[in-house]
């Protein structure tokens, strides 16, 4: 044994030595990666001396409210500018936010519309700039500077989103920051559109901009701009939107300067600080009105976008006094070579959306609304992934995490007398849309998506049906856009668009809002393709509420070996306007008809081939036997549900020709169904004896905890587990290798591989 193993009394370094060690580490840092101290903290920074002094000088509630409204208007003005002038489809349809941040980097006031998840994320890169560049002689932060950022690991949803960050000075002193963030789309990743599902490492995810200076003296530096343009598929968009974001920031700066002239810097600083502190305090007060309780739920992802498997998002929400704690331990471990992981800040951002959009929409938009709420996860989890894990499809995990939060929160809100919205069943949560890319009919290289991802069906509420195709969960005031406008720039048509998908339902006393069908076919380019990135083709990605059902499943359908434009020209009667008819009737001779899960990697499409999907339905609320029969008939009339399905599920009796309701027969049928339930239902204690299993089923690749044991995570098999606190790699095999192996095994069984050398 060597002396090295002999325990010695640890010597505590002196203050001088600690300072020396810190200086040594600071001077010799080789790489300024994402800083855990910044990235793991979503609470407000402590009051600075300047803020303390400003609050001491100006704290009149009326003055604060006046300035806050003025700054809010400035943010909304900046938002409008980006929305109107931005080149990215995301900008045009509201996937944008602008905001004013405190000198310490906290988002104090954000634009009212747009993607509020950004409100919980962009403070991270600003804090990185403050910590690392402010005092660095090679960088510095000066008046006229602007910083760009997109790498999610430094604080973002995914690398499609780019921010422009501008420091605001007053008489030479940094007063606050303004920033504008847009879902730009294209970023030079291995697939067009910026959200590659094929990414197997961060190196596949395109541009990875840590926060850096790209603007000096309010001018974009052309050399850096050219490098960025050269790194993406849409150089024109990259330039245009950098300018748009910069000018939006400058407009907000102008509004701030006007406020400084009329009210002075202390009034502004105090407004920013008190807005955040007051919102934070109000959130804690509101939480205290909820019942003290623990609510458990889980949401299942049924794929990694590369293969179907079962990926658990486990959520325990506990409220005690004025504390609210989201515990996501037990969720799936991160995938080392799949893109569906998220950094924990992304998850927190989406949870902030639950509150800002669905629970307390009256609160001023900003970081403070989620600041006091706590979040716990396992290390290297799918909802708190490591630096080395790809996360370009983090939407899969932040959206299912959102739904877990929305589902759990509803169970707290029902009994709370103080409400700011109605109790709400989960809204649909997947981006069922087409991402596209290639060379357009105008010869331009493009890569982006259809804004139909914004058409998620809303969940039903306590007293009414969910609205159809209402809004995305990440931006409740976004639009689904005008497809016809898009078609002027892209070489494909949506041959069927905005038509509700019949029988893709979420039944309940109040049914969920439904989703619509999209059929696309390329027309004027030989270099064009599509991808889809959604889960939920085998397992619904949401839960119902209080006896309501979730939505069903949503696959991708393809029809190949046909030019549908020729069909429309020569045999138009053969074209059908629903996926149901086209796929079941197979009207095109010689064509192939196939179905797939919704994780289609980028695929080149030939002219006239059909790719068909549907947006999804929000969840239903309450027992479907309590649904007003007139509501069921209205659904039939509106083509949401077929008469046979309506009668079978809702037990409504009506005349098939006139749809007139037989109320007596309906009441009798519903009574009979209630009796049938009592007859077929099994007492819980007997049910669990046969239902409960000690491990996940062997026929499923299962990831996450099983039951209440959150300390043990299953990793793809009932026989492979790991300690939740001990991270390990979690590699998936290439789906084509798996398929080839299956087919080779069959060939071997038939003796067809006997001659092949190994």
What is the rounded end-to-end Cα distance, in angstroms, of the chain? Answer: 49
Q: Which of residues 613-632 bind another protein (CB under 8 A)?
A: 614, 621-625
> Considering only 174-182, 256-264, 434-442, 674-682, which stretch makes contact with another protein by CB under 8 A?
674-682
Tokens 């909304």, located at residue: 76
Please list every residue from 637 through 656 that binds another protein, using CB under 8 A.
645, 649
Closest CB to another protein among residues 736, 757: 736
Binding-site size for another protein (CB under 8 A) equals: 93
- Say if residue 8 is exposed, middle or buried (CB neighbours under 10 Å; 0-12, 13-18, 19+): exposed
Among 142, 236, 285, 674, binds another protein (CB under 8 A): 674
E-strand stretches of 308-449? 308-320, 323-327, 374-376, 435-439, 445-449
- 262's CB contacts (< 8 A; 6+ apart) are none
State yes or no: residue 11 binds another protein (CB under 8 A): no
- Which residues, numbered 692-751, are part of the site for another protein (CB under 8 A)? 692-693, 695-697, 699-700, 702, 706-708
Report yes or no: 673 and 625 within 8 Å, Cβ to Cβ: yes
**Closest by Cα among 104, 122, 221 to 174:** 104
Of the candidate spans 102-110, 330-338, 684-692, 749-757, the one that interacts with another protein by CB under 8 A turns out to be 684-692
Question: Which of the residues 521 through 540 are near another protein (CB under 8 A)?
Answer: 537-540
Q: Which is nearer to another protein, 87 or 504 (CB)?
A: 504
Which residues, 6 or more positions from 403, have their beta carbon under 8 angstroms from its beta carbon?
299, 426, 427, 429, 473, 541, 542, 543
560 in contact with another protein (CB under 8 A):
no
Q: Using the rule CB under 8 A, is 355 a contact of another protein?
A: no
User: Helix or strand or coil: residue 129?
Assistant: helix
Pair of tokens at residue 389: 């894990």
Q: Which is nearer to another protein, 124 or 312 (CB)?
A: 312
- Partner residues linked to 562 by β-bridges: none
> 706 by DSSP, 3-state: which?
strand
Beta carbon nearer to another protein, 175 or 409: 409
Site for another protein in 577-616 (CB under 8 A): 579-580, 583-584, 593-597, 614
Cβ 408 to another protein shortest distance, Å: 9
Helix H or strand E encompassing 108: strand 107-110
Report how far residue 108's alpha carbon sits from residue 653's, in angstroms, rounded to the nearest whole number.
56
Q: How far apart are CA 259 and CA 265, in angstroms?
A: 8
Q: DSSP for 509-541? A: SBPPPP-EEEEEEE-S-SSEEEEEE---SSS-S
Cβ–Cβ < 8 Å for 603, 193? no
Is residue 300 a contact point for another protein (CB under 8 A)? yes
For the CB of residue 678, give the shortest distance to another protein in the complex, in Å.
Answer: 5
Q: What phi and psi values does residue 611 have, to the nearest 5 degrees? A: -115, 125
The smaller minimum CB distance to another protein, of residues 320 and 725, is found at 320
Tokens of 538: 């085998």
* Contact flag: residue 360 with another protein (CB under 8 A): no
61 binds another protein (CB under 8 A): no
Out of 472, 544, 599, 608, point to the residue binding another protein (CB under 8 A).
Answer: 544
Nearest to another protein of 253, 312 (CB atom): 312
In whole angstroms, the minimum distance from the beta carbon of 357 to another protein comes to 12
User: In angstroms, what is the minimal distance from the CB of 403 to another protein?
Assistant: 11
**Contact predicate 726/712, CB 8 Å:** no
Site for another protein in 454-473 (CB under 8 A): 462-463
Pick the closer one to another protein by CB: 485 or 676: 676
* Options 13-21, 79-87, 211-219, 501-509: segment touching another protein (CB under 8 A): 501-509
Does the footprint of another protein cover residue 396 (CB under 8 A)?
Answer: no
- As a whole number of angstroms, the distance between CA 97 and CA 156 comes to 13
Distance in Å, CB of 109 to another protein, minimum: 16
**Out of 173, 261, 573, 685, which residue is the one contacting another protein (CB under 8 A)?**
685
What size, in residues, is the chain? 758
Binding track over 76-105 against another protein, x by CB under 8 A: ------------------------------
Q: Which of 309, 188, 187, 300 minimizes the C-alpha distance to 599?
A: 309
Q: Which stretch binds another protein (CB under 8 A): 6-14, 382-390, 575-583, 724-732?
A: 575-583
Q: Considering only residues 30, 31, 223, 684, which one is a binding residue for another protein as defined by CB under 8 A?
A: 684
Smallest separation (angstroms) from another protein to the CB of 673: 8
Token pair belonging to 537: 């083709």
**Identified binder of another protein from the candidate list 95, 106, 241, 302, rule CB under 8 A:** 302
Closer by beta carbon to another protein, 42 or else 411: 411
The H or E element containing residue 658 is none
Stretch of residues binding another protein (CB under 8 A), selected from 46-54, 260-268, 691-699, 731-739: 691-699
- CA 477, 328, 684: angle at the middle one, nearest 5? 105
Determine the Cα–Cα distance for residues 142 and 172; give it in Å rounded to an integer. Answer: 9
Alpha-carbon distance of 367 to 350, in angstroms, equals 12
Q: Which stretch binds another protein (CB under 8 A): 34-42, 230-238, 488-496, 498-506?
A: 498-506
Contact 273, 102 (CB under 8 A): yes
Kindly state the smallest distance separating residue 419's Cβ from another protein, in Å: 3
The residue whose two tokens read 């069909």 is 567
DSSP structure class, residue 6: S
* 211 touching another protein, by CB under 8 A: no
Minimum CB distance to another protein smaller for 317 or for 351? 317
Residue 124 CB, nearest approach to another protein (Å):
32
Measured at the CA of 206, the angle between CA 202 and CA 211, to 5 degrees, comes to 85
Going through 340-460 in order, the beta strands assigned E by DSSP cover 374-376, 435-439, 445-449
Neighbours of 711 (CB within 10 A): 13
233, 306, 365, 509: which one contacts another protein (CB under 8 A)?
509
Task: Give me the DSSP letters along 535-574.
Answer: --SSS-SS--BTT--------EEEEES--HHHHHHH-GGG
Quote the least distance from Cβ 431 to another protein, whole Å: 18
Per the CB < 8 A criterion, the answer to whether 460 and 512 are in contact is yes
Piece of the chain touching another protein by CB under 8 A; list 9-17, 157-165, 364-372, 551-559:
551-559
Interface of this chain with another protein, residues 182 to 201, rule: CB under 8 A? none
Stretch that binds another protein, among 90-98, 413-421, 448-456, 482-490 (CB under 8 A): 413-421
Contacting residue, 126, 398, 453, 504, with another protein by CB under 8 A: 504
Segment 414 to 433, residues that bind another protein, using CB under 8 A: 414-417, 419-423
Query: Which of 142/675 has CB closer to another protein?
Result: 675
Picking from 419, 486, 415, the residue whose alpha carbon sits closest to that of residue 185 is 486
Q: Which residue in 70, 76, 78, 71 sits closest to 248, CA to CA?
A: 78
- 549 near another protein, judged by CB under 8 A: yes
Q: Decide: 165 and 130 in contact? Cβ < 8 Å.
A: no
Among 443, 681, 689, 751, binds another protein (CB under 8 A): 681
Indicate the residue among 42 and 627 with the shorter CB distance to another protein.
627
Query: How far apart are the C-alpha atoms of 582 and 346, rounded to whole Å?
Result: 39
- Asked if 411 is part of the footprint of another protein (rule: CB under 8 A), the reply reads yes
Q: Which of 398, 556, 610, 633 binds another protein (CB under 8 A)?
A: 556
Over the window 308 to 347, marking each residue x when it contacts another protein by CB under 8 A and - when it does not, the resulting string is --x-x-------x---------------------------
């Amino acid at each position: 044994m060597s002396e090295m193993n002999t325990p010695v009394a640890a010597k505590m370094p002196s203050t001088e030595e600690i300072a020396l060690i810190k200086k040594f580490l600071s001077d010799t840092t080789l790489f300024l990666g994402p800083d855990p101290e910044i990235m793991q903290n979503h609470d407000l920074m402590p009051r600075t001396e300047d803020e303390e002094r400003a609050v001491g000088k100006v704290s009149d509630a009326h003055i604060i409210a006046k300035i806050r409204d003025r700054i809010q208007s400035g943010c909304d003005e900046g938002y409008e500018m980006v929305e109107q002038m931005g080149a990215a489809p995301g900008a045009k349809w509201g996937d944008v936010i602008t905001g004013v941040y405190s000198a310490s980097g906290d988002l104090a006031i954000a634009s009212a519309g747009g993607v509020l998840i950004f409100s919980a994320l962009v403070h991270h890169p600003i804090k990185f700039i403050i910590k690392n560049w402010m005092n660095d002689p090679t960088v510095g932060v000066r008046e006229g500077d602007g910083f760009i950022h997109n790498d999610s690991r430094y604080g973002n949803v995914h690398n499609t989103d780019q921010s422009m960050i501008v420091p605001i000075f007053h008489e030479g002193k940094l007063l606050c920051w303004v920033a504008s963030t847009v879902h730009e789309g294209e970023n030079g990743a291995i697939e067009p559109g910026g959200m590659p599902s094929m990414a197997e490492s961060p190196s596949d995810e395109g541009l990875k901009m840590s926060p850096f200076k790209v603007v000096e003296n309010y001018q974009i530096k052309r050399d850096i701009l050219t490098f960025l343009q050269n790194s993406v598929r849409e150089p024109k968009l990259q330039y245009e939107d950098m300018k748009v974001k910069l000018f939006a920031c400058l407009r907000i700066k102008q509004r701030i300067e006007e406020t400084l002239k009329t009210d002075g810097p202390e009034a502004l600083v105090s407004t920013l600080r008190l807005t955040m502190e007051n919102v934070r305090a109000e959130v804690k007060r509101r939480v205290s009105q909820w019942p003290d309780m623990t609510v458990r739920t889980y949401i299942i992802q049924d794929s990694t976008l590369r293969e179907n498997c079962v990926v658990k998002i486990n959520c325990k929400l506990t409220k005690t006094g004025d504390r609210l704690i989201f515990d996501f331990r037990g969720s799936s471990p991160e995938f080392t070579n799949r893109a569906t992981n998220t950094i924990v800040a992304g998850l927190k951002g989406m949870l902030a959306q639950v509150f800002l959009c669905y629970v307390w929409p009256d609160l001023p938009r900003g970081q403070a609304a989620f600041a006091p709420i706590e979040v716990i996860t396992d290390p290297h989890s799918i909802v708190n992934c490591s630096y080395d894990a790809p996360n370009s499809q983090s939407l899969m995990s932040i959206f299912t995490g959102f739904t877990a939060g929305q589902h759990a929160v509803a169970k707290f809100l029902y009994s709370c007398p103080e409400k700011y919205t109605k109790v709400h069943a989960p809204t649909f949560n997947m981006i069922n849309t087409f991402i596209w890319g290639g060379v357009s009919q105008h010869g331009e290289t493009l890569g982006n998506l259809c804004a139909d991802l914004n058409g998620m069906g809303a969940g039903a509420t306590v007293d009414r049906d969910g609205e159809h195709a209402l809004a995305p969960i990440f931006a409740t005031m976004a639009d689904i856009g005008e497809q016809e406008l898009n078609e002027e720039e892209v070489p494909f048509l949506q041959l069927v668009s905005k038509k509700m998908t019949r029988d893709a339902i979420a039944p309940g006393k109040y049914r969920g809002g439904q989703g619509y069908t999209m059929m696309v076919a390329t027309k004027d380019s030989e270099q064009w393709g599509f991808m889809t990135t959604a889960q939920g083709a085998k397992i619904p990605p949401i839960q119902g509420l209080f006896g309501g059902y979730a939505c069903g499943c949503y696959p991708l359908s393809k029809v190949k070996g046909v030019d549908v434009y020729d069909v429309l020209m020569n045999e138009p009667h053969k074209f059908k306007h629903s996926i149901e008819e086209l796929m079941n009737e197979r009207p095109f001779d010689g064509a192939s008809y196939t179905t797939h899960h919704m994780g289609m990697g980028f695929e080149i499409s030939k002219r006239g081939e059909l790719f068909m999907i549907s947006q999804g339905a929000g969840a239903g609320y309450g027992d479907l036997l309590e649904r007003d029969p007139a509501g069921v008939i209205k659904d039939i009339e509106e083509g949401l549900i077929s008469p046979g399905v309506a009668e079978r599920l809702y037990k409504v009796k009506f005349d098939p020709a006139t749809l007139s309701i037989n109320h007596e027969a309906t009441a009798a049928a519903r009574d009979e169904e209630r009796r049938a339930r009592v007859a077929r239902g099994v007492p819980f204690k007997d049910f669990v004896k046969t239902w409960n299993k000690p491990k996940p089923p062997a026929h499923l690749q299962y990831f996450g905890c099983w039951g209440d044991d959150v300390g043990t995570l299953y990793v793809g098999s009932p026989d492979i587990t790991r300690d939740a606190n001990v991270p390990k790699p979690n590699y998936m095999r290439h789906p084509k290798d798996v398929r080839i192996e299956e087919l080779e095994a069959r060939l071997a069984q038939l003796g067809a591989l006997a001659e092949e050398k190994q």
